[in-house]
Amino acid sequence: MMNLQPSDPPSIGGYPLLSRLGAGGMGQVYLSRTPSGRLLALKTIREDLSSDPGFEERFAGEIRNSDRVRSPWTVTVVDYSPPGQRPQWLATEYVPAPSLDEWVTRHGPLPEAALLSLAAELCGALQAVHQADLTHRDVKPGNVLLARDRPRLIDFGIARAADDPRHTQVGGVLGSPGFLAPDQAVGGVPAEPADVFSLAAVLVYAATGHSPFAGPRENAHMAALVYRAVHEAPDLQGVPPALLSLLAAGLAKTPAERPTAAELGRQLERIGGRTGHWPDACPPSLATELTAHEHPTDTVVDPQSGPRPDPRLDPRVHPRRESEPHPQPHPSTAPGAPQDPAAGETRVNTVLATTATTATAATTSTPVTPERRERRRPAWLTVAVTAVAVVAVAAVSVASYAGIRGSRSADYSSDAPKPKPSPSAEATKPATPKPNPIPIRKTLRAPYDLGVGQSVRTTKTKLVMQRDGNLVITDKKDRPLWAARTFGTGNTARFQRDGNLVVHNSAGKPLWATQTSGNPGAVLVLQADGNVVIKSGDTVLWNAGTVH
């Protein structure tokens, strides 16, 4: 992080600027935060780009495209500038982690176990991008963050729908030399095979410390890198034998000869490259560096460090400032349509998208445009929501003592040993029932219902169906960490037998869902680290991203 400069504004779009994170190809990147303290990476757009005719429309379209990618490996768009505002800006969730480029520059190539895990995770990331009918177009080491739980593929600033023939920058070639596919370098419309080529080049860099088209410690000119990618064979010296043939196939000059991201993922699995093992496979020294990355953020989000912005701007507690259309019911949920006889529940496939914090949340059925915005909620509503949350906590406490709240299918577990009473104490003790202590971790099995004002909680986290209709995750002090942004009297939530967590309105119509249907037996877990996930076996299907 770098200090703000005198020329930097104190805030942008109502979000305070805390420090500089760096400069990208499109503009300056700042560290910012929401009123409740969740960190944001806020990118401003260079004035020369904003003044380009048609750029604003392309920028808004690309944000919508980026917001379509919901996966554990990508960061979520939180907010962006309204039409006509200068500078234009984009706020995403912030991941305090070094990039692959930074790590390899300081520490050298990754060991083979970490390399296999990284390859599998990035294949998963690309599959998520391609399943949304997008191409990333700039997969490079600087756009891979080595986070604690899994790597993240970031910077969809030039992502484009796969069927859109236009370039982001008129007359320009997209991508980064050294990692740019030959078909992309010669001016063709980048498609999925170009992303696979770039991914293979990134993995060669992670294995050797240099691009497959630049020698060790060679500072090759951009034109030379592009020429070699188009005309010369890649340098794969130093790549582990287990990965050699896979990366060579990914670096094929002809797009049709490259495997898809899904095919590459299956081949990696055969040689031990699986998703979900990054925390165990990553270099041990990465944890130390991650702590160093996180420490400055602990300081800047201290509530005593300065004035906070208007709490009505918090996009996690209230809906984003752009208005969103009501979701249309999926054909299977229309009146008179047959229901799933096995689950006896409506499958929700068309729902509102969640806010910034979850990586695998639901996607919108209709893209949200920055032109469609609604007024901010009045201050009295924010106060009312807070008051209701306090009342809900008290109500839940009473209900939990009586053992009547929610479903009885929750499993409790605690890492702390429980002391055993002495026999004499047992004999003299009155035979009165004792309430269950609040668990460190809680596992919910379907079906599990949260009615109006009801909640389920652990020592760190609470999942509450607020009386204003919003499904919210808070910390133990009732500070919001995540919200579904569903408002309306009488809303309820249900974790269904098919593995889907759904918010319904009072008429029973779905308003939001995690899009995890088709996974009977899945569980909803409030983890000891504060995160809330939906899991099927060892596979995480949905991740709220509320570790705290």
What are the catalytic residues?
138
DSSP structure string for 403-415? T-SS-S-EEEE-S
Burial class (CB in 10 A: 0-12, 13-18, 19+), 450: buried
Cα 75 from chain centroid? 4
151 vs 72: CA distance, rounded Å: 9
Whether the CB-CB separation of 533 and 514 falls below 8 Å is answered with no
Distances (CA, A) of 467 to 50, 344, 377, 390, 479: 42, 26, 16, 11, 16
Assess contact for 547 and 519: CB atoms under 8 A: no
Q: Give the E-state strand segments of 24-131 in sequence order.
A: 28-33, 39-44, 77-80, 89-93
Q: Regarding beta strands 471-475 and 461-465, do their DSSP bridges make them parallel or antiparallel, or are they unpaired?
A: antiparallel
The verdict on whether omega for the bond into residue 182 sits within 30 degrees of 0, i.e. cis, is: no
- C-alpha distance from residue 85 to each of 81, 88, 315, 356, 461 (Å): 6, 6, 19, 22, 37
> What is the three-class DSSP state of 526?
strand
User: What secondary structure does DSSP assign to 18-54, as a single string?
Assistant: EEEEEE-SSSEEEEEE-TT--EEEEEEPPHHHHTSTT
Reduced to 3 states (helix: H, G, I; strand: E, B; else coil), residue 249 is helix
The answer to whether 152 touches 93, Cβ cutoff 8 Å, is: no
Give the integer Cα–Cα distance in Å for 212 and 299.
Answer: 40
Tell me which residue of 438, 493, 488 sits closest to 467, measured CA to CA: 488
